[in-house]
Chains A and B, each alone.
Chain A
Amino acid sequence: MSDTASFAERTAGLERLYSTRPLIRAVNFHNASVAKVEQYDRQLTQYSQFFSSVNQDELEEYLVTGQWHKPKPGLIVSIYEGYRNGYDVLLPLVEKHGLIGWFFVISGFVNADVKDQLSFALSHDIDMLTREYPDGRYAMTWDEIRKLDRKHVIASHTRSHTQLSLLPPATMEEEIVGAQEQFKKHLGHSVRAFASLTGPAYGEHAPTDKLVNAAGYDFVFSNFRIQRIRAKHS
């Protein structure tokens, strides 16, 4: 499904995929305002009644076999960008309801000096509609991400949240491979899942595919798909 596909072409393509591939539910969070904590709590309360957590091994098994082995359908709770409020606001709720958070972190946002984080966000399509931290730190710290890494999933959301297909090769490498290097440095291991701003899905942009392979990611998340592109530890 290319960027230029028409509405009819895209829906027809998705209809074929829905008819022939396993499906999984996900809920996408971004800038989790503390003012909406009760709303998020209600939402996750409902979801946890009906859906089960999903970790990386469970996702991999499901991708391979199409079989889901928990009594309730799986739900991937995706928390994007690496906002500090993902840690402060959403994490306690995710854990309260027995779910697993998939934290898609923009490494450059986390690496930015606190005084520069707001301007980094504003110049990298990171929404800052609500700004609730007077100290100016809007991104998680690597210490917080290491704590998340013990029970939840840390994933790469590129280095600086730019549209990959528009970048020159060297910059694209920094976004994909360079981000993975940051996770290795700060977590002590590579991360398995990768998502970029607006995709592309694996197979839609060859230069991106090549770098995703080089970085050693196992899963590619895009707007409509999760693709397993590499076996674990291969």
Chain B
Amino acid sequence: MNRRVALVTLGFAAFSGVARSISRPLRMLQSSSTLSNKTLDDILREDLARLAPRVYSEEGIPVFLVCENLVADKTSRAPAKVALTPTNTALASALHRNAEAWQRIRPDAQGKDVAQLIEVLADRDFTLGGTVEGQ
């Protein structure tokens, strides 16, 4: 997958050196919404084929993890008040669109497949060197 397509597919910021901006990821997110279903499906197929040969146990596999604070102590804020970043919106949107694509190209999708989808999204993000300001 080429760099431009990766950026719009993930819906994340363009990455250039260490420069990051908030406006750019938003533009990329908007442009990603214009991709046709066929294009999204083709890119997902391509990425799945590219990642399939990985020997899972012998390679570093990128993932995203959701951080949850379940402790109610005086230093903690309620999760809803925790500051969120453009990454949240971008990743949630990317997951939504790519989950739809997954179900189009693999109608027999199962719950356990979600981990593989997250790995595809994370691989795109890591390949681009992370893409959104902050976390």
Chain A residues engaging chain B, CB cutoff 8 angstroms: 1, 3-11, 14-33, 36, 39-40, 43-44, 46-47, 49-51, 62-68, 71-74, 76-77, 127, 129-130, 202-203, 221, 223-231, 234
Contact = CB atoms under 8 A, between A and B. Distances in A.
A20 B71 CA distance: 17
Interface of B: 15, 18, 55-71, 73, 75-77, 79-80, 82-85, 87-89, 91-92, 95-96, 99, 102-103, 109-111, 113-115, 117-118, 122, 125-126, 129-130, 134-135
A141 B126 CA distance: 32
A3 B62 CA distance: 22
Given A202-B70, A228-B69, A73 B111 contact: no
Contacts of B64: 18, 23-26, 224
B89 to A, nearest CB: 7
Contact of B68 (A6, A25, A68, A228): A228
Contacts of B56: 30
A196 to B, nearest CB: 15
Contact of A14 (B75, B118, B122): B118
Given A6-B110, A11-B99, A73 B60 contact: no
B88 A68 contact: no
A11 B114 contact: yes
Most chain B beta-carbon contacts within 10 A, residue among A25, A36, A127: A25
B82 A22 contact: yes
B129 A65 contact: no
Contacts of B83: 22, 65-67
